[in-house]
Amino acid sequence: MRLTRYFLPVLKENPSEAQIVSHRLMLRAGMIKQQSAGIYSWLPMGFKVLRKIENIVHEEQERAGHIAIQMPIIQGADLWRESGRYDDYGEEMLRMSDRHGRDMLFTPTAEEMVTDIFRAHVNSYKDLPLTLYQIQWKFRDEIRPRFGVMRGREFYMKDGYNFDLTKEDALHAYNRHLVSYLRTYERMGLQAIPMRADSGPIGGDDTHEFLVLAETGESEVFYDSAVTDLTFGDRDIDYDSVEQCQAVLEEFTSKYARTDETHDEAKFNELPKERRRVARGIEVGQIFYFGTKYSDAMGATVVDKDQKQVPVHMGSHGIGVSRLLGAIIEASHDDKGIIWPEGVTPFHCGIVNLKQGDEEADAACETLYAALEAAGLEPLYDDRNERAGGKFATMDLIGLPWRITVGPRGLKNGVVELTCRRSGESEELAPEAAVAKVVDIYANL
Ligand code: 5CA
C-alpha cells in the first residue's frame, strides 16, 4: 500500500477523551472513530488488525477441532425466555421490538441460540463431541463503556460452545480450550495468564479468565510470580489427547493466580513473600464449564448407548477479539506510539523515502516495494512529499515492526537502513539484503 493512496487519518493532537494509552494511540493512529458511547467505526488500519487477530483465532480454533458457524446478531426473545435469562440479564441486554410487536434483542452472548441449533439437529451420543463457535458482534449496554475498544457496548467476540455426553468429556473440552487459548494469545505476542475466576451471569462451576498484565487493566489480580515464567511455545499438542491437555492445564493453573472475585488471602500468604504479586490485568478471554444448565432448561438431549435420553454437558468459551487490540497496545508501545508484534501487524514493513521525487530514491523504493510484495508481504510505502521527521513520526506512531529507510546518500554507497521498531536499532544493508532479512523474520514466525 502507498500512503498517498491509503486512508490513514492520523491525529496530531492527543484526543482529550482518551484516558488510557491504547485508546489514545488507536485514535491518534486513525484506527477507530467513536460513533456513540462504546460504539466505534473501524477505519482501515484498525480493521486490518482486527482481521489479523480474527484470523489467528479462527486458525487456532480449527486446529483444536472446533467448527465455525455464524448466528444472527438480532435474536428473538423466546429462546431467552426458555432459559430464564430474558428477565435475568437486566439492563445490559439491549431490547427492541419488530413491526409485529415481537420482542427482539441484540445478542450479548449466544448460549441459547447454539443450544437451539444443537437440539434441532443432534440426537445421538454418536455425534459427540461437538464444539461450535462463531466470531460475531455482540452488544452489552454497559453502564460505563470506557477505554475505547476495551469496554465497548458493541464489541467483537469469539464465542464457542462445547456439547459432550459426560462431565469428563466436557472437562476435556474445557482443557482443550485452555490449551488453544494459550497458543492463540502467544501468537499475538501476548502473555495471557489463566486465573481462577467467578462465573457471573453465564453460570457454572469451573471458570478461568485469561489476563494480560497491564497497569490500566480493570481487574485486580493476585498471582505467584512463577506463573509469568511459563510459556506455551511451539509445543505440538494432540488436542484429542485427554492426558496432554490435562497436563498443560495443570502446568498453567496449579500455581496461585486469581482475580479479586476468587482471591483467598490466606492461601496467597502461604507463598513466599517475594513471589506474591498484586497487579492489574485486562481480561482477554474466559472459559466456562456449566454442565447441563442450558441443556436441562432447553431440552438439549441425546440418546446414550442404552437408548436413554440424557442432557448434554456444555461449556462456553469467549475471546474478546476487539478488546485484544487495546490489550496488545497496552502491552506493547512506547512514548512514540504503537509497537505491533509481528503476528498481528497491519503491514509487515514500512518504506520511508527520505527524498520523494529524487529519481534514484523513488526507483529504489519501487524496487523494494515490488520485492516485498513478491515475497507475499504487505509493505506500507510512505510516498508523501513530507519531510523525513514527519514520515518517521507517522511510522513510529502506527508501529510497524520493521522500517526500511531509503535516501540518496545511502544509495550512493549501495545501502538502505533497516530499523527495528521495538529495539530502535538500525543497520545498513544492501536493498536486497534488507528485503531478505524482513522476509526471513516473517517466514520464521
Ligand atoms: N458466553 C461466554 C463465553 S462464549 C461469554 O460471554 N463470556 S464473557 O462474558 O466473559 O465474554 C468473553 C470475552 O469478551 C471477555 O473475556 C472479554 O475479553 C470480552 N468482552 C466482554 N465484555 C466486553 C466489552 N464490553 N467490551 C469488549 N470486550 C468485552
Residues 394 and 296 in one domain: no
Whether 242 is in a domain gets the answer yes
Q: Which of 338, 369, 386 is the last residue of a domain?
A: 338
Whether 215 is in a domain gets the answer yes
Whether 343 is in a domain gets the answer no
- Residue whose CB lies within 8 A of the most ligand 1 atoms, among 157, 159, 290, for a mutation test: 157
Rounded to whole angstroms, the Cα distance separating 262 from 358 reads 63
pLDDT digits (tens, 9 = 90+) for 53-95: 999 999 999 999 999 999 999 999 999 999 999 999 999 999 9
Residues 264 and 353 in one domain: no
Return the amino acid letter for 416.
V
Atom of ligand 1 nearest to the CA of 324: 18
Residues 409 and 329 in one domain: no
Q: Which of 338, 363, 380 is the last residue of a domain?
A: 338
Atom of ligand 1 nearest to the CA of 151: 26
Whether 438 is in a domain gets the answer yes
- HSE (side-chain half, CA atoms, 13 Å) at 230: 22
User: Residue 358: which domain range?
Assistant: 349-443
Cell 479479586 maps to which residue?
Answer: 260
Residues 289 and 369 in one domain: no
Residues 330 and 353 in one domain: no
**Does the Cβ of 252 fall within 6 Å of ligand 1?**
no
State the total domains in the chain. 2
Residue 104's CATH number: 3.30.930.10
Q: Note the pTM of the prediction, 2 decimals.
A: 0.97
Whether 141 is in a domain gets the answer yes
Q: From atom 23 of ligand 1, which residue's Cα is the shortest distance away?
A: 151
Residues 304 and 379 in one domain: no
Which residues have CB under 8 Å from 440's CB, separation 6+?
none
Q: From atom 20 of ligand 1, which residue's Cα is the shortest distance away?
A: 320
Residue 373's CATH number: 3.40.50.800
Q: Which pLDDT value is given to residue 202?
A: 58
Is 30 exposed, middle or buried (CB count within 10 Å of its CB: 0-12, 13-18, 19+)?
A: buried
Whether 89 is in a domain gets the answer yes
Q: Which of 338, 360, 390 is the last residue of a domain?
A: 338
**Does the Cβ of 323 fall within 6 Å of ligand 1?**
yes
Residues 332 and 396 in one domain: no
Q: Which stretches in the chain have pLDDT values below 70?
A: 200-205
Whether 379 is in a domain gets the answer yes
Is 147 exposed, middle or buried (CB count within 10 Å of its CB: 0-12, 13-18, 19+)?
A: buried
C-alpha cell at 280: 492489574
**What is the Cα gyration radius of the chain?**
24
Whether 344 is in a domain gets the answer no
Residues 194 and 321 in one domain: yes
Residues 379 and 242 in one domain: no
Residues 247 and 390 in one domain: no
Q: Which pLDDT value is given to residue 197?
A: 86
Rounded to the nearest angstrom, the distance between the alpha carbon of 232 and the centre of ligand 1 is: 23
Residues 158 and 211 in one domain: yes
Give the residues across from 106 on adjacent strands.
74
Rounded to whole angstroms, the Cα distance separating 27 from 38 reads 14
**Residues shown for the chain:** 445
Residues 362 and 333 in one domain: no
